[in-house]
Structure 1
Amino acid sequence: MGTWNEGAFDNDDASDFIDDLAEAPDWRTVIQMLDHVTKSAGYLEAPEGQMAVAAAAIVAAAVGDVAILPDDRRDLKAALGAPPQGAVALARSALARVVAPASELDELWQEGDDHDAWLTQIAALQTTLSASQ
Structure 2
Amino acid sequence: MGTWDIGAFDNDTAADFAGDLDEAALEERESVIRGALKRAADPADHLDTSDGERAVAAAALVVAQHPDGEPACSVYGPSEPLPPLPADLRTLAVDALDQVVSELSELAELWAEAANGPKWRQDITRLRDALDPPIPPQEEAPFAI
- Once the 2 structures are TM-superposed, how far is the Cα of residue 72 of structure 1 from its aligned partner? 6.7
Contact 1:62 1:81 in 2 (8 A): no
4+ residue runs over 4 A deviation: 71-76
Larger radius of gyration: 2
Counterpart of 2:70 (choices 61, 65, 68) is: 65
Contact 1:109 1:115 in 2 (8 A): yes
- Supply the distance in 2 between the matched residues of 1:47 and 1:107 (Cα, whole angstroms): 13
- Once the 2 structures are TM-superposed, how far is the Cα of residue 14 of structure 1 from its aligned partner? 0.4
- 1:112 is matched with 114
Aligned residue pairs, count: 128
- Once the 2 structures are TM-superposed, how far is the Cα of residue 74 of structure 1 from its aligned partner? 6.7
Counterpart of 2:53 (choices 40, 50, 55) is: 50
- Once the 2 structures are TM-superposed, how far is the Cα of residue 75 of structure 1 from its aligned partner? 5.3
Q: Could you say if the C-alpha distance between residues 49 and 101 of structure 1 is closer, same or farther in structure 2, counting changes exceeding 3 Å?
A: same
Contact 2:15 2:76 in 1 (8 A): no
- Supply the distance in 2 between the matched residues of 1:93 and 1:121 (Cα, whole angstroms): 16
- Once the 2 structures are TM-superposed, how far is the Cα of residue 102 of structure 1 from its aligned partner? 1.6
Paired letter, 1:12 = D
TM-score normalized with structure 1 length:
0.88
- Once the 2 structures are TM-superposed, how far is the Cα of residue 43 of structure 1 from its aligned partner? 1.0
- 1:128 is matched with 130
- Once the 2 structures are TM-superposed, how far is the Cα of residue 111 of structure 1 from its aligned partner? 1.0
Paired letter, 1:16 = D
> Kindly, what percent of the aligned residue pairs are identical?
38
Q: Could you say if the C-alpha distance between residues 42 and 14 of structure 1 is closer, same or farther in structure 2, counting changes exceeding 3 Å?
A: same
- 1:21 is matched with 21
- Supply the distance in 2 between the matched residues of 1:10 and 1:97 (Cα, whole angstroms): 19
Give the RMSD, CA atoms, in angstroms.
1.7
- 2:4 is matched with 4
- 1:84 is matched with 86
- 1:94 is matched with 96
Q: Whose helix proportion is higher, 1 or 2?
A: 1
Paired letter, 1:95 = L
